[in-house]
């Protein structure tokens, strides 16, 4: 009974907010959080369409995305901790050795 476009709109808002967060935040952990936001938006889309098409595959994929997101966060935080150990900072701005 919910109109599909509304759900999609909500998901789009979440996604763009996540994009802003990825691009604007300095702290690596906050960037990871923003990435989680984006992934959630995608999940929302998948579930909404799964109900639209009356196919449970969308939800299965949402599950997969959640699993992958979990794995990704784990690895991502491990890397962030390694960077913190090496450089005493996790400001992404300061990780620019590939600068010209």
Q: Which of residues 14-43 bind other proteins (CB under 8 A)?
A: 14-34, 36-37, 40, 43
As measured in angstroms, the least distance from the Cβ of 45 to other proteins is: 10
As measured in angstroms, the least distance from the Cβ of 23 to other proteins is: 3
Backbone angles phi, psi at 84, to 5 degrees: -60, -40
The CA distance from 96 to 41, in Å, is 30
CB 87 within 8 Å of CB 95? yes
Stretch 60-99: interaction string toward other proteins, x if CB under 8 A: x-xxx-xxxxxxxxxx-xxxxxx-x-----x-xx-xxxxx
As measured in angstroms, the least distance from the Cβ of 89 to other proteins is: 9
């Amino acid at each position: 009974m919910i109109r599909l476009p509304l759900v999609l709109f909500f998901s789009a808002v979440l996604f763009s907010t996540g994009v802003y967060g990825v691009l604007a935040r300095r702290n690596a952990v906050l960037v990871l959080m923003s990435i989680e936001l984006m992934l959630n938006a995608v999940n929302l889309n998948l579930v909404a369409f799964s109900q639209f098409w009356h196919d449970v595959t969308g939800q299965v994929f949402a599950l997969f995305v959640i699993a992958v997101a979990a794995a990704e966060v784990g690895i991502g935080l491990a890397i962030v901790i390694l960077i913190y150990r090496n450089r005493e900072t996790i400001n992404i701005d300061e990780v620019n050795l590939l600068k010209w």
